[in-house]
Amino acid sequence: MHDSFCNRCVFGCIASDALEHYVLCPVLWRVIGRVFGSPPSDSLDVVLVLSAPNRVSAFRLYAAATIFHACRASHLVRLRAFAENNESEAL
């Protein structure tokens, strides 16, 4: 039970905490779409700025990576605090 919670998307999806999920995470990319005023492309190559590179796509990817790392870092800090205080039952 604890492992399944700890291994979920840091943005609250039921998806697993995997890099390939975050490239497509609907919660993360919905936020990015709101900030930039339009949803990202459905093409993974465009999202990753591997094709049709442009400034907006690059900023979207940068924002997504920054948000991901900030959220994940705070998530890990909380998990470590729970583990160090032997409060893992609260997870």
Q: How far is the CB of 11 from Zn ion (least distance, A)?
A: 4
| Cβ proximity to Zn ion, 15 vs 23, nearer residue | 15
Confirm if 26 and 34 have CB atoms less than 8 A apart: no
Q: How far is the CB of 14 from Zn ion (least distance, A)?
A: 8
DSSP code of 15?
Answer: S
| Cβ proximity to Zn ion, 15 vs 31, nearer residue | 15
Other C-beta atoms within 10 Å of 22: how many?
22
Q: How far is the CB of 13 from Zn ion (least distance, A)?
A: 3
